[in-house]
Amino acid sequence: MEVVRIAGTLGAEIRGVDLAGTLDAATVEGIRAAWLEHGVVFFREQTLNSDRFMRFARAMGTPVEYPFVRGLPDYPEIIEVKKLEHERTNFGGMWHTDTSYLECPPSGTMLIARELPPYGGDTEFASTVAAYAALSDGLKATLAGLRAVNSSAKADVTKSREDRVASDGREGARKEYTAEHPVVRTHPETGRKALYVNGGHTVSFVGWTEEESAPLLSFLFRHLQRAEFTCRFSWRPGSLALWDNRCVLHNPVNDYHGFRRVMHRITLAGDRPR
């Protein structure tokens, strides 16, 4: 197994591993170590049907279901993240952390490419550990005691899943989920501190109004997207990404109107942010 960094702050490609095969304990541990070190890891040319995709997910954690969209038949934890030829809005098309509106958001997300447009459709990733480290000591002190309200009902993110909820929505799904989490969380495995707010779901600081919260949140959202904290991945059929949802944001780029893009996604159970 070879781990090759693709950017200065986060992101690495793992080569020499066939995820469709039997993964011994040392290989799983090596993948996990690279994931924790680099925040997001990528694999190329993987031939994984749903059963093998799920088997790899179980080697890395405990797959969980997504609250708004049905999973595949026989695989409820695998959802289709897709944009069809006639659609203009892509699923989750903004910088965000997956389902931070849950009390225990996922520890990780894995995505595999099934159908791709002839161009475009890249995904950007950003290290919230690097973003936190770059803040001034004064702002770190201000944020240390703050908690934030995260909601599934912010307008932009709600619009981004309208097509999928219409076609594949779960019956009886709640209209809104909300959770309060620390603005600065400590990673339970690495001990690193990371900003834990995102433009897709964070609404306000606990005890502050939305109007009072907006200026500081706006600054933090812009700060998290600074180029030096990011990497960008261009997909090919069979490409797979695994990112640490506790310390990495992602943004699927919506630059392929008129073409189809289909990905399969699994999220892994996480703990309560602290």
How far are the Cα atoms of 32, 61, 231 from residue 38, in angstroms, in the given order? Answer: 10, 18, 11
The tokens for 250 are 């992602």
Catalytic residue among 38, 192, 201, 250: 250
Q: Which DSSP state fits 107?
A: S
Range list of H helices, the chain: 25-38, 50-60, 128-133, 137-144, 155-160, 162-168, 210-224
Residue with tokens 């309060």: 180
Is residue 98 annotated as a catalytic residue, yes or no? Answer: yes
* Catalytic residue (choose from 98, 161, 261, 264): 98
For 7-43, letters b (16+ CB in 10 Å) and e give bebbbbbbeebebeeebeeebeebbbebbbebbbbbb
Q: For residue 274, indicate whether it is catalytic.
A: no
Residues 6+ apart with CB under 8 A from 254: 83, 89, 90, 93
Active site residue 96: yes
Can 161 be counted among the known catalytic residues?
no
Distance (Å, rounded) from C-alpha 99 to C-alpha 150?
9
Q: Using CA atoms, how far apart are residues 237 and 217, in angstroms rounded to an integer?
A: 37
| Residue in 38, 96, 246, 264 annotated catalytic | 96
What are the catalytic residues? 96, 98, 250, 265
